[in-house]
Amino acid sequence: MVSRRQILFALACAPFQAETGKFEITLLGTGNPRPEMDRFGPSILIEAGPQRLLVDCGRGATQRLFEVDGESHVLTSVDRVLFTHLHSDHVTGFPDLWLTGWLFGRKNAMRVWGPRGTASMIHNVERAYAFDVHTRRDLDEHLPAEGARIEVHDIAEGVIPNVAEGLKVTAFLVDHGPVKPALGYRVDYAGYSVAFSGDTRPSDNLVKYAQGVDVLIHEVLAPEVERRRAAMTDPAAIERVIAHHTTAEEAGKLFARIRPKLAVFSHIVPSVATESDVLPDARKYYDGRMVFGADRMTIRIGAEIEVKYP
């Protein structure tokens, strides 16, 4: 009798047919370090025609990828990751994505880009999991060696060469306080565009690079909710966290300068903040279309921008 695992593995290895011309964003995780079940760690899936890549890979990214496509085609076809910065909540899901995607049938090497320090982090991840790779590649499952390889690049501001065919990916510096360097990204595809703020306080450089985008996905922090609900007990530490993020009012002012067709809040701090804690304050300064992000929310970008709630 064929087991469920064998069926899933066979499906994972089947050729994956992407939808031609599709440009879609899925918020896999809209949270932060707080281990909430309804807001996983920061991670966003970009699907552009046959290309698939992630912006950040926080806690639970692999589970969300498997959840949005139970046959695991998306999981095994994601082989590129862009890190905005190296805070743990943005990177802790990477070993799971790398190794589980390989175990389920990914044959390509993982390709990773991020700010200075990314290559060092990834090389240490490879050392940490060397036993598992050796066992699965050389002794047990005999998985393809190329699928366990990681190609990593430390990058600076500017267009990133050879990320994916048909995509223009541009990295830009943002202001995340003492966390330096920290990056945002702009992705242009088939005449449409989306920008990702990463973690940042209000940033003129983000306004410069995000100008004219169809969709802007931006972080937000609700200060009063953070002061009441933060896991930290040191008031000074809480204020430092608030100081290097963007409040809803500040975000509204940024949106008014950028004028995206759609602004989406993600990386919501704290995770327990609600739409009513954010949208009214942003609306004081911005009259355009805004949505409060949720895990598994999808945004299809085209002549019309469609938002599908989970």
Q: What pLDDT does 72 receive?
A: 61
User: Alpha-carbon distance 211 to 213, whole Å?
Assistant: 6
Q: Give, for all 310 residues of the chain, the pLDDT tens digit.
A: 444 444 334 434 444 444 568 999 999 999 999 999 999 999 999 999 999 999 999 999 999 999 987 666 788 999 999 999 999 999 999 999 999 999 999 999 999 999 999 999 999 999 999 999 999 999 999 999 999 999 999 999 999 999 999 999 999 999 999 999 999 999 999 999 999 999 999 999 999 999 999 999 999 999 999 999 888 889 999 999 999 999 999 999 999 999 999 999 999 999 999 999 999 999 999 999 999 999 999 999 999 999 999 9
Give the model's pLDDT for residue 11: 39
Q: Determine the Cα–Cα distance for residues 91 and 19; give it in Å rounded to an integer.
A: 28
Peptide bond into 178 cis (omega under 30): no
Instruction: Give every CB contact of residue 158 below 8 A, 6+ residues apart in sequence.
Output: 170, 171
Residue 70 has a pLDDT of 66
Residue 6: predicted pLDDT: 43
Return the structure tokens found at 6: 């064998």
- What residue type is assigned to position 56 of the chain? D
Give CA 143 to chain center in angstroms: 27
In this structure, the number of other CB atoms found within 10 A of the CB of residue 207 comes to 15
Residue 2 pLDDT: 42
Separation of alpha carbons 81 and 94, rounded Å: 9
pLDDT value of residue 232: 85
pLDDT of residue 141: 97
Token representation of residue 9: 């593995």
End-to-end CA distance of the chain: 35
Predicted local distance difference test score (pLDDT) of residue 9:
41
**CB atoms inside a 10 Å sphere around CB 65:** 28
Structure tokens at 193: 């565009």
Q: How far is CA 298 from CA 3, 24, 44, 126, 215, in A?
A: 32, 7, 10, 32, 12
Q: Per this entry, what is the length of the chain?
A: 310
Strands 167-176 and 158-160: antiparallel
CB 177 within 8 A of CB 167: no
Report pLDDT for 73.
76
CA-CA distance, 297 to 310, in Å (whole number)?
5
Specify the DSSP class assigned to residue 146. Answer: G
Give the torsion through C-alpha atoms of 42, 48, 52, 58, to 10 deg.
0
DSSP code for 39: S
